[in-house]
Structure 1
């Protein structure tokens, strides 16, 4: 299955203009015969916990616009937006099929407390699993990469690949690659991180979107600027890797739970 990570800098706080820009991505991806396009974290507005603008529900401009584009070009898409929720909005990614129908939504579980995201958003509390062309996908968002337990849960759900929209800053880029490779190798799955690029009021970003295969090997890597990064996902490779090297059988989940419950005296 051919996929596309759309490493683009959106138009700050302007979903309308960013969606116009995104249509060219769909045109290019259609010519490249991609089945799935993934955009960075909150790509239509830019990631900014301090902002109270452009908070939408699934009938808002961002999701509606992506649904129309997915159907028009017959390509599935993963997007990200500030979802209206009470008492605070959620940082949500959404998967849309090539017919424009919503397949799954995922709200960021691990909010970035160093950037005060926890003060502005409500954390999610569930997984998101969907299937396109026989590939079972999961969703995570940016800071989630630092928490291996989430990816372990996706592995237990039989996921072949996790897509990770992100706004990962240039200053911590070396950890971006480390965590993508680690989460992929640990769980014998593809991990596709799609990062934003450019300078905005919050930080400086330098792209480097990348995909690791079930061995943890980087099979596709973007540069610093706007770029469409194409890569292939083979679900049979993930399944074969798990059969050939069945680390799953050696886990001690019951013991881990028991040890976690033990409190030091």
Structure 2
């Protein structure tokens, strides 16, 4: 399966422009044979836009979701993107997955919030999210969630074949794509697809380096720091024997894992 990762900074605070960018990237990805397009954390609104994010929050079935659904339908591929979600209790840092018919498949709310900015602007999600796509099972993370191996392990124990991680990882933390992403893949025997923001947004520089890691920890494809549309080839069958022969579940020592 070909999966596209759209590493971009987008247009901070400009939802219509970001939807236009989504459309362009979706059609380019579909032309390359991709079945799924990943777009970064808070792609729809921008990340480093301060209190403006509150005014750009929409419900998961709001007008931008409808526009993104139309883009998925016209391009003929599924899309998962980050956006500020307006919920009944407040605003969440969320990711919405749409299938190639533009219908919502899953919605994930970031469970681990980073720093004072995120804690001031967003409520923390309270649930993990797994969904089926193209015969495989995917879990979803957003940025700082990656730092918590417990979350990745939870997805693995619940049968995930891959984890999608949308991010706004900044320039001081290249350790995330270079070390944490392959580690999460290897220790859980699954694929990890990391889609980061690129460039600079209102003075905040991003790490970029979006990548796809295989269950054996190999980086299958990766970006530099600039804006790029990367196509990763994910072959679940190739790693079937590896995943079968390198089990971890039965070797865990739950009697030791407590504070």
Same fold (TM over 0.5): yes
- State the secondary structure of the residue aligned to 1:140: strand
Deviation of 1:237 (Å): 3.9
Deviation at 1:238, TM superposition (A): 4.5
Deviation string, structure 1 residues 104-134 (Cα, Å, up to 9, x no partner): 1110000002x43112211111111112211
How far apart are the structure 2 equivalents of 1:65 and 1:197?
Answer: 24
Name the residue aligned to 1:128.
129
**Contact in 2 for aligned 1:190/1:238 (Cα 8 Å):** no
Q: Deviations over 1:198-257 (max 9, x none)?
A: 11126111411011100111110011211111112222344422211122220122x145
Q: CA deviation at 1:49?
A: 7.2
- Does the 8 Å CA contact 1:49/1:120 hold for their aligned counterparts? no
CA distance in 1, matches of 2:240, 2:164: 18
Residue equivalent to 1:216: 217
User: 2:45 matched to which residue of 1?
Assistant: 45
- Tell me the equivalent position of 2:34: 34
Cα distance in 2 for residues equivalent to 1:26 and 1:245: 36
**C-alpha RMSD of matched pairs (Å):** 1.6
The whole-number CA distance in structure 2 between the counterparts of 1:154 and 1:103 is: 17
Partner of 2:170: 169
Instruction: Tell me if 1:79 matches 2:81.
Output: yes
**1:89 aligned to 88, 91, 98, which one?**
91
- Partner Cα distance (2:114, 2:181) in 1: 17
C-alpha distance in structure 1 between counterparts of 2:50 and 2:203, whole Å:
9
1:11 corresponds to which residue?
11
| Residue equivalent to 2:103 | 101
Instruction: Within 5 Å, give how 1:107-256 maps onto structure 2.
Output: 107-113=109-115, 115-201=116-202, 203-253=204-254, 255-256=255-256
Q: Secondary structure at the match of 1:127?
A: coil
Q: Report the secondary structure of 2:153's partner residue.
A: helix
Evaluate the alpha carbon distance shift between residue 57 and residue 248 of structure 1 in structure 2; reply closer, same or farther with a 3 A threshold: same
Q: Shift in Å at residue 68 of structure 1? A: 0.8
The answer on whether the counterparts of 1:49 and 1:116 sit within 8 Å (CA) in structure 2 is no
Give the match for residue 23 of structure 1: 23
Structure 1 length normalisation: TM-score?
A: 0.92
SS at match of 2:106: strand
Distance 2:69 2:84 in 1: 16
Unaligned ranges ≥5, structure 2: none
In 2, the alpha carbon distance for the partners of 1:196 and 1:248 equals 34
Structure 1 moving runs of 4+ over 3 Å: none
- Unpaired segments of 5 or more residues in structure 1? 261-265
Aligned to 1:263: none
Q: Give, in whole Å, the separation in 1 of the partners of 2:232 and 2:202.
A: 31
Q: Retained in 1: the 8 A contact 2:49–2:202?
A: no
Change (3 A) 1:146 1:202: farther
Q: Distance in 1 between matches of 2:204 and 2:35?
A: 31
Deviation, structure 1 residue 48: 3.3
